[in-house]
């Protein structure tokens, strides 16, 4: 397998201020997604984290991205999309959406990371994942129904299409406004979220310029 290597505008500007002072470079720390979609309108921006439960870097990134996303202003919407690099990653994406549909994702998201990276459980097969979920009190009949549902299949297909559209080849990765993805050259996970703040401010500046030529 491949190595799986900002409330109101005022609040946003305060968050982005520190990032603006840093020498973040287009094409390095953040990369335009091609072809570039049209510049949107309004002041709502979406930030998406692409991740995989089996990725140790994603597990290490969790405390940082959780703290950062909890402090975002109301106009910045954060969500996650599991990647599909084949094998266990595809299974984990299906499990993610099944648990989401059951209302169990918030309870078990961190536990899945902990099981794989602290407890060293592999959870690479359906039987291993099912055993873990049963141990954690999941209604297995509802879970199996969800895993085979059209809703989960549709979400998985959408996630796969977005992963390809955005050129996601490694995780964790952040996509801002569907127009930029995180690049390389980060000194820390905190810097990765600072870049996201920087790009959110850039996106809103581009929208303002378009609305007031």
pLDDT digits (tens, 9 = 90+) for 146-196: 999 999 999 999 999 999 999 999 999 999 999 999 999 899 999 999 999
For residue 66, pLDDT over 60 is answered with yes
- Give me the residue spans of the domains in the chain: 6-50+60-82+174-213, 84-167
Mean pLDDT of the 63-89 span: 97
Residues in Cβ contact with 119 at an 8 Å cutoff, skipping those fewer than 6 apart? none
Pick the CATH number of 6-50+60-82+174-213 from 3.40.30.10, 2.30.42.10, 3.30.70.20, 3.40.50.1100: 3.40.30.10
Q: Of all helices (H) and strands (E), which one includes residue 108?
A: helix 105-117
Pick the CATH number of 84-167 from 1.10.3680.10, 3.40.30.10, 1.20.970.10, 2.40.50.140: 3.40.30.10
| Weakest mean pLDDT among 11-20, 47-56, 122-131, 141-150 | 11-20
Mean pLDDT of the 5-14 span: 36
CA dist., res. 87 & res. 84, Å (int)? 8
Residue 180, SS3 per DSSP = strand
What is the model's pTM? 0.88
Closest CA to 67 of 192, 183, 166: 192
**What pLDDT is recorded for position 22?**
66
Query: Sign of dihedral through CA atoms 188, 177, 46, 98?
Result: negative
**Is it true that 6-50+60-82+174-213 and 84-167 share their CATH fold?**
yes
Tokens of 134: 């049963």
For residue 75, pLDDT over 80 is answered with yes
**What pLDDT is recorded for position 210?**
87
């Amino acid at each position: 397998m491949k190595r799986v290597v900002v409330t109101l505008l005022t609040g946003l500007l305060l968050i982005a201020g520190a990032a603006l002072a840093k020498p973040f470079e287009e094409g390095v720390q953040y990369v335009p997604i091609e072809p570039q979609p049209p510049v949107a309108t309004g002041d709502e921006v979406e930030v998406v984290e692409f991740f995989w439960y089996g990725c140790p870097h994603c597990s290490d990134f969790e405390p940082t991205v959780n703290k950062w996303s909890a402090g975002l202003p109301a106009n910045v919407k954060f969500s996650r999309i599991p990647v599909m690099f084949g094998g266990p990653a595809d299974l984990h994406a299906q499990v993610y959406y099944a648990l989401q549909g059951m209302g169990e994702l918030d309870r078990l998201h961190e536990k899945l990371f902990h099981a794989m990276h602290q407890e060293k459980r592999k959870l690479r097969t359906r039987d291993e994942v099912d055993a873990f979920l049963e141990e954690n009190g999941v209604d297995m009949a509802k879970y199996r129904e969800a895993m085979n549902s059209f809703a989960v299949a549709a979400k998985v297909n959408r996630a796969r299409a977005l992963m390809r559209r955005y050129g996601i080849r490694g995780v964790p990765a952040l996509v801002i406004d569907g127009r930029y993805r995180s690049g390389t050259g980060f000194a820390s996970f905190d810097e990765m979220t600072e870049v996201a703040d920087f790009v959110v401010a850039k996106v809103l500046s581009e929208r303002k310029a378009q609305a007031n030529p």
